[in-house]
Amino acid sequence: MSPALLEELAAASQNLESAEPPEIIGWAARRFGDKLTMATAFGPEGCAIIHWLAAVAPKTFVFNLETGYQFKETLELRDRLAKRYGIEVALEAPDTTVEEYERLHGGPLYRTDSNRCCGDRKIAVIKRVLTRFDAWMSGIRRDQSPDRAAAPIVGWDHKFDVAKISPLANWTKAKVWDLIVRENIPYNPLHDQGYVSIGCWPCTRAITMGEDERAGRWSGTAKTECGLHSKE
């Protein structure tokens, strides 16, 4: 990455700070063309971006990190989105199946070493995918967690060596759900059962009233992020 590119991205980020997500997505699609990709775990924000992408840049390569531990409702949502928008989200998986992985480690690592498990089944996979692209887009919002509070609209992702676009950085959970209801966008039915932030089933639980929206992820441990959106 050159200083000129960093400057360009910082200027774009500033210009887009008050832009609505479809405008940001449109800018990213024009700037990076087929070198732009989007990653989604099929949360409401990802579903919203797919909704806009279908109108603005439907040929964008969209992928999901298929760890082998996702809820069946999450994988069914992939099919519902494909039917509605014609966007087939690619399932990018690690080299080993869950059975092979657990055999190799004498049991499920999510119980004993969740950082290693996320590293092997998510981070290594996204690194592999992103080598084919110049920019990636995700649905993170600044108000989701302290880790995400400083996310720029457009910036350089030093971890994966590509530009990163966060079209929903300035949005709130209420605005995302308002859009989903208004536009009848498919969403994960687990959200209606108290699951707010949904990842792999062993590391996700429903939350109760008043809990932080990510409290159901790696509950009972100090871990709050899988590492996709953190600097280290």
Determine contact, residues 214/83, Cβ cutoff 8 Å: no
- Residue from 50, 89, 117, 162 touching ligand SF4 (CB under 6 A): that is 117
Q: Which of 12, 131, 114 is nearest to 63 (CA)?
A: 131
Q: In whole angstroms, what is the distance from residue 170 CA to residue 158 CA?
A: 21
Q: In whole angstroms, what is the distance from residue 31 CA to residue 60 CA?
A: 13
Q: How many CB atoms lie within 10 A of CB 231?
A: 9
Listed in sequence order, the residues at least 6 apart from 3 whose beta carbon sits closer than 8 Å to its beta carbon are none
CB burial of residue 118 (10 Å; 0-12, 13-18, 19+): buried
Q: Is 202 near ligand SF4 (CB under 6 A)? A: yes
Q: Is 42 near ligand SF4 (CB under 6 A)? A: no
Name the one range near ligand SF4 by CB under 6 A: 42-50, 110-118, 133-141, 153-161: 110-118
Which x/- pattern over 120-159 shows residues binding ligand SF4 (rule: CB under 6 A)?
A: -xx-------------------------------------
Q: How far is the CB of 171 from ligand SF4 (least distance, A)?
A: 24
Q: What is the arrangement of strands in the sheet containing 162-165, beginning at the earlier edge strand?
A: 90-92, 61-65, 36-39, 135-137, 162-165, 154-157
Name the one range near ligand SF4 by CB under 6 A: 56-64, 115-123, 129-137, 173-181: 115-123
Report, in angstroms and rounded to the nearest whole number, the Rg of the chain calculated over CA atoms: 17
- Residue from 28, 49, 118, 169 touching ligand SF4 (CB under 6 A): that is 118
Q: Is 29 near ligand SF4 (CB under 6 A)? A: no
Q: Are strands 154-157 and 162-165 parallel, antiparallel or unpaired?
A: antiparallel
Nearer to ligand SF4 by C-beta: 51 or 122?
Answer: 122
Q: Is 199 near ligand SF4 (CB under 6 A)? A: yes
- Residues 54 to 83: which contact ligand SF4 by CB under 6 A? 67, 69
Compute the 3-state secondary structure of the chain and give helix, strand, coil in percent, each to the nearest 5: 45, 10, 40
Q: Is 226 near ligand SF4 (CB under 6 A)? A: yes
Name the one range near ligand SF4 by CB under 6 A: 3-11, 21-29, 118-126, 166-174: 118-126
Q: Is 163 near ligand SF4 (CB under 6 A)? A: no
The yes-or-no answer on residue 226 being catalytic is yes
CA dist list (Å): 189 to 4, 18, 73, 130: 45, 31, 7, 29
Q: Is 203 near ligand SF4 (CB under 6 A)? A: yes
Nearer to ligand SF4 by C-beta: 76 or 102?
Answer: 102
Positions that interact with ligand SF4 (CB under 6 A) = 67, 69, 110, 114, 117-118, 121-122, 199-200, 202-203, 226
